[in-house]
Amino acid sequence: MATQATAREIAVVGVIGAGQMGSGIAQLAAAAGCGVLLLDSDTAALSRAVDSISSSLRRLVAKGQLSQASCEHSIEQIKCVSSVQELRDADLVIEAIVESEDIKKKLFVELDKITKPSAILASNTSSISITRLASATNRPCQVIGMHFFNPPPIMKLIEIIRGADTSEEVFTKVKSFSERLGKTVICSQDYPGFIVNRILMPMINEAFWALYTGVATKEDIDTGMKLGTNHPMGPLQLADFIGLDVCLSVLRVLHNGLGDSKYSPCPLLVQYVDAGRLGKKRGQGVYSYRTRSSSIKPRSSL
């Protein structure tokens, strides 16, 4: 028998975090006909998110991929809020905040107290254990991972992660909702790195090792992977778009969780992060984005 959480359609979605990931998720949910409560404590971030969503939807109208009426309706579906209390009526809450287990757990404790008993709580984490996040709540069967890829409106994939106690009903409902967003769904058990990062991050790390040990220049490493394996972007360029700090965080999760030295982060990656060279978002990573107009287009990111 269906539980309360699966008995009705998801109508109201709370999205926590108005950065690139959160705003992209909010756009998808609004375009799918959901009421969206976009939460961030930074009012400037909320304003930027609304502008970004509006611009993105209007580009779709200009391309003939969306009607003007649908564009305006989607924009109207999004309500910006600044307090977690305002998420009390959400059917599904998706957090897209900083990749820190402690910070996410504190948020889940708060959400568990505020949201209605039937609400599903989802994390957009790219590596952190869903089981451990769920353990901070009194509803572990209603906690799940929804790993979107960046930018969410463009990337076709959602990686769904079941915690140890995630119910079959909640999994089915979230999978159906993800498909309603027009996404292809892959499903992972709750192991460090899930599917994509378990495979991708060691490749990125190995590219850093190749650069660190002088195997080749960064340009040749990336060109080799783009033209030799038909990847749309080389691993070092991709790391810059993901964020070197995020890559380092995921590698540490893999290393700690799986205990294999092959996941140990390359010292060069650690050094770049220590120096604040976090990638495109900071204007400097493996490549510099400060003094030139980058010809690199983000096609895949986490």
Please check if 18 is assigned to a binding site. yes
Residue 118's pLDDT is 96
Please check if 126 is assigned to a binding site. yes
For 293, the 3-state DSSP assignment is coil
Residue 3's pLDDT is 41
- At 154-209, the pLDDT tens digits run 999 999 999 999 999 999 999 999 999 999 999 999 999 999 999 999 999 999 99
Please check if 163 is assigned to a binding site. no
Catalytic choice (23, 124, 126, 301): 126
Catalytic choice (147, 169, 300, 301): 147
Q: Which residues contact 244 (CB under 8 A, 6 or more apart)?
A: 269, 272, 273, 277, 278, 279, 285, 286
Please check if 218 is assigned to a binding site. no
- At 92-111, the pLDDT tens digits run 999 999 989 999 999 999 99
Residue 6's pLDDT is 39
Residue 2's pLDDT is 39
pLDDT higher than 50, residue 4: no
Specify whether 230 is catalytic: no
Residue (of 99, 75, 76) closest to 21 by Cα position? 99
Residue 94 near residue 13, CB atoms below 8 Å: yes
Gap between the Cα atoms of 196 and 199, Å rounded = 5
Residue 196's pLDDT is 96
For 265, the 3-state DSSP assignment is coil
Q: What is the dihedral of CA 223, 228, 232, 233, to 10 degrees?
A: -30
Catalytic choice (123, 129, 197, 205): 197
Please check if 113 is assigned to a binding site. no
Please check if 240 is assigned to a binding site. no
Specify whether 255 is catalytic: no
Residue 8's pLDDT is 54
Catalytic choice (52, 159, 205, 255): 159
Average pLDDT over residues 252-276: 96
Average pLDDT over residues 65-88: 95
* Matching residue, tokens 């409106």: 153
CATH class of 196-280: mainly alpha
Please check if 214 is assigned to a binding site. no
Task: Give φ, ψ of 189 to 5 degrees.
Answer: -75, 170
CATH for 10-187, options being 3.30.70.20, 3.30.70.360, 3.30.70.860, 3.40.50.720: 3.40.50.720
Angle between helices 20-31 and 68-77 (to 10 degrees): 120
- What is the overall mean pLDDT for the chain? 93
Specify whether 147 is catalytic: yes
In the chain, what are the domain boundaries?
10-187, 196-280
pLDDT higher than 90, residue 296: no
Please check if 9 is assigned to a binding site. no
Specify whether 159 is catalytic: yes
- At 19-52, the pLDDT tens digits run 989 999 999 999 999 999 999 999 999 999 999 9
